[in-house]
Amino acid sequence: MKYVYLLQSLSVPEQRYIGITANLDERLRTHNAGGSPHTSKYRPWKVVLHLCF
């Protein structure tokens, strides 16, 4: 299963990020741990929406 997800930064709420993954929980942990250069400066993140395919 694949997930398309929308994240919102808790520190800068107007910042959002859209991604795709096969493991949503692990991907959110990676974003919040600073493992993605595109999202690391706006940590922490929360999932606002996800769609399963």
Q: What is the pLDDT of residue 23?
A: 98
User: Of 14, 19, 12, 18, which Cα lies nearest the Cα of 44?
Assistant: 12
pLDDT digits (tens, 9 = 90+) for 9-39: 999 999 999 999 999 999 999 999 999 999 9
* Domain extent at residue 19: 3-52
Q: What is the pLDDT of residue 21?
A: 98
What is the helix (H) or strand (E) element at residue 13, kind and residue range?
none
User: Which residue stretches of 1-53 are H helix?
Assistant: 24-32
Q: What is the pLDDT of residue 4?
A: 98
CB 4, CB 18: distance < 8 Å: yes
Domain count, the chain: 1
pTM of the prediction?
0.93
- Separation of alpha carbons 53 and 38, rounded Å: 24
Antiparallel, parallel or unpaired: β 45-52 and 16-21:
unpaired
